[in-house]
Amino acid sequence: MGAVLAAFVVVFLAELGDKTQLVALTLAGRYPAAKVLLALGAAIAVLQTLSVTAGALISAAVPDPAIAVGAGLLFLGFAVWTWRSADQDDEDDAAGGRVGLLSVAVAFFLAELGDKTMLTTAGLAADRGAVPVWIGSFAAMLAATTLAVVAGRALTSRVSPGLLRRIGAVAFAVVGAVTLVGAAL
């Protein structure tokens, strides 16, 4: 039980304010919260499995600057995608259905690849065992993501979805630019 709790606390704290929370917050303004949580829950399960089993190998095989450049470019792509979708109405989103939710899960999955949470989980698993760390890290990621989805839904009740998407696009662009600058230094 100690390894589960340790993994939960470490991963939850590492995930607060992380870029994947930005993804969850932005997408929660676009799709129904329950569907977003279901899609992200599936992505989290896969991510944590990868983290526990392969995270250490990825960090050893791929140089940190390459991971940072990839993440920065990915977030600039998210910025363009989010900005371009800001003018779509809710009927377009509803028509997107399964394809839209798949894009939610894939965006979240790609955003988390090589992230500090993934590497932290890999390190914890090496030290404390794969199964308890997977349980704790999955629960932590789901809890942090739920907070972001709830915040995203609350914002859409006060701010137009188009404006929220534009704000999200700018935030993605800033995160992407900062990540690329950090990789260049």
165 vs 35, more confident: 35
Count up the domains in the chain and report the number.
1
The structure tokens listed for 146 are: 């739920």
According to the model, what pLDDT value does residue 114 have? 66
Count of CA atoms in the C-beta half-sphere (13 A) of 73? 7
- Which residues have a Cβ under 8 Å from the Cβ of 168 and sit 6 or more positions away? 22, 25, 26, 29, 82
According to the model, what pLDDT value does residue 92 have? 45
22-78 pLDDT, tens digit per residue, is 778 877 877 888 888 888 898 889 888 887 875 556 556 767 777 678 767 877 887
Q: Between the CA of residue 119 and those of 2, 124, 135, 150, what are the distances in Å?
A: 20, 9, 16, 26
Q: Is the pTM of this model over 0.75?
A: no
Give the domain range for residue 21.
2-184
According to the model, what pLDDT value does residue 140 have? 93
184 vs 60, more confident: 184
According to the model, what pLDDT value does residue 143 have? 94
What is d(CA 178, CA 159) in angstroms, rounded to the nearest whole number?
26
68-123 pLDDT, tens digit per residue, is 787 678 778 877 877 887 666 544 444 445 556 676 677 677 767 767 677 777 77
According to the model, what pLDDT value does residue 1 have? 75
Most confident range, picked from 121-125, 138-142, 157-161, 177-181: 138-142
Provide φ and ψ at 30, rounded to 5°: -110, -35
